[in-house]
Structure 1
Amino acid sequence: MAKSKDYFGLGRLISLILAIIPFTSWLLGFLTRLTEGKIVAAILRIFFGWWIVWLIDLICMVTKGKIWRALNC
């Protein structure tokens, strides 16, 4: 099983389990984007990460093994 680069390099199964839980998905998504240096994307995750981004992250984690990246600049 290949390692995902999201959620600090944890395995895909562990990342998927963490993505299912809304609070951990919100917190780890924020921290992941912050450590990537994407401050605007991290701030957007703080304000919109509860339901909208959580559902999109969950779908992306199941299909691709990565969180959704709205802003990649």
Structure 2
Amino acid sequence: MRKSKGYFGLGYLVSIILAIIPITNLLFGVVIRLDKKKVLLAILNILIFPLFYLVDLISIIINNRLKYLI
């Protein structure tokens, strides 16, 4: 297992499961972007969700954190 640095410090497997579920991917992506004061990216995450969904999913699988578009 990798270090816990995924969604809100959760483990790698839990973060992947949450990233696969579209509604949790959307909610956590918006919350994390708002927490980092990236309001425009949070709004774009809501508007063009399919693109952000794929990028966030790939980012969680490869890096275990949101690295791209953040």
TM-score band, normalised by the shorter chain? 0.7 to 0.9
Matching residue of 1:67: 66
Counterpart of 1:32 in 2: which secondary structure? helix
Give deviations 1:10-42, integer Å, cap 9, x for gaps. 122111110000111011100111111111111
Cα RMSD after superposing both structures: 1.5
Q: Which runs of 5+ in 2 are unaligned?
A: none
The residue type paired with residue 68 of structure 2 is: R
Quick check: 2:55–2:68 contact (8 Å CA) kept in 1? no
**Aligned counterparts of 1:52 and 1:40: Cα–Cα separation in 2:** 15
Matched residues, number? 69
Q: Could you say which structure has the higher helix fraction?
A: 2
C-alpha displacement at 1:68, in angstroms? Answer: 4.4
Matching residue of 1:38: 38
Matching residue of 1:11: 11
Q: How many percent of aligned residue pairs carry the same amino acid?
A: 39
C-alpha displacement at 1:69, in angstroms? Answer: 2.9
The normalised TM-score by structure 1 is: 0.80
The normalised TM-score by structure 2 is: 0.83
Matching residue of 2:27: 27
